[in-house]
């Protein structure tokens, strides 16, 4: 019995640790990391949903902060993802966290609505959104995807049109060469006909000559 308990206890401890995805804290301000993390997320992931752990997803907003920020309560986390996990670990009180690229500080907020503010990254916890908001986020994401697809389509169309232009030019050149060939062929045929006529005239002359000189 005693041995079993000593085996089970550390196992339980590590299992519960694995379940609660914890963030990695950092010592203090780090402008280089702050900016690097901003650049890693913005603008490429603006408006996208990012999964931080099996139980946590956030909507990324570039250049926005939550409407009711709690600027006093700050944490230094090792990454943007950890800034989101820190908020998630706080429970329902935290609805969003946001990252200041100037020093890499992570703040939390009890509001999930964001408003424009340059040079911040807001991470809104998906769990804090109601189904309507979630749908809206999905729509936003789908719209961004559509715009990307449209841009790719337009680019492909442009390339097609350029190729078509080249084809048309080549076709015109071909047709020009064909015309020249046909003209040359016609000249050849005319010359051939005239040579044939000459030949026939000569043959007739030879025949007449032979008639006049029967001894040959």
Ligand X SMILES: *[C@@H]1O[C@H](CO)[C@@H](O)[C@H](O)[C@H]1NC(C)=O
Please report, as ranges, the residues that interact with ligand X according to CB under 6 A: 42-43, 46-47, 62-63, 116
What is the signed CA dihedral for 168, 174, 180, 184, rounded to 10 degrees?
-160
Cβ-based nearer residue to ligand X, 62 or 87: 62
Please give the Cα distance from 125 to 211 (Å, whole number). 117
Residue number, nearest CB to ligand X:
43
Please give the Cα distance from 28 to 71 (Å, whole number). 16
3-state SS, residue 160: helix
For 104, residues 6+ apart whose C-beta sits below 8 A from its C-beta are 26, 29, 30, 31, 33, 34, 37, 76
Q: Minimal distance in Å, beta carbon 134 to ligand X?
A: 17
Q: Minimal distance in Å, beta carbon 108 to ligand X?
A: 21
Cβ-based nearer residue to ligand X, 147 or 153: 147
Cβ-based nearer residue to ligand X, 47 or 110: 47
Q: Minimal distance in Å, beta carbon 119 to ligand X?
A: 9
DSSP 77: B
Q: Minimal distance in Å, beta carbon 41 to ligand X?
A: 9
Cβ-based nearer residue to ligand X, 136 or 208: 136
Q: Minimal distance in Å, beta carbon 47 to ligand X?
A: 5
3-state SS, residue 1: coil
Per-residue tokens: 23: 């963030």
Cβ-based nearer residue to ligand X, 25 or 116: 116
Contact predicate 108/70, CB 8 Å: yes
């Amino acid at each position: 019995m005693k041995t079993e308990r000593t085996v089970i206890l550390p196992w339980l401890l590590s299992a519960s640790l694995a379940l609660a995805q914890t963030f990695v804290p950092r010592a203090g301000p780090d402008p280089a990391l702050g900016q690097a993390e901003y650049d890693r997320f913005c603008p490429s992931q603006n408006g996208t949903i990012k999964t931080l752990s099996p139980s946590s997803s956030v909507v990324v907003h570039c250049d926005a902060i939550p409407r009711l920020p709690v600027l006093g309560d700050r944490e230094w986390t090792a990454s943007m993802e950890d800034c989101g996990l820190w908020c998630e670990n706080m429970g329902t009180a935290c609805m969003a966290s946001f990252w200041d690229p100037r020093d890499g500080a992570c703040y939390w907020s009890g509001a999930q609505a964001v408003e424009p503010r340059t040079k911040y990254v807001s991470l809104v916890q998906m769990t804090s959104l109601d189904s309507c908001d979630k749908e809206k986020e999905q729509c936003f994401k789908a719209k961004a995807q559509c715009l990307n697809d449209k841009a790719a389509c337009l680019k492909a169309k442009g390339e097609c049109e350029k190729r078509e232009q080249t084809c048309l030019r080549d076709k015109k050149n071909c047709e020009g060469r064909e015309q020249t060939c046909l003209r040359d062929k016609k000249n050849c045929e005319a010359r051939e006909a005239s040579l044939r006529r000459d030949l026939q005239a000569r043959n007739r002359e030879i025949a007449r000559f032979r008639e006049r000189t029967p001894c040959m």
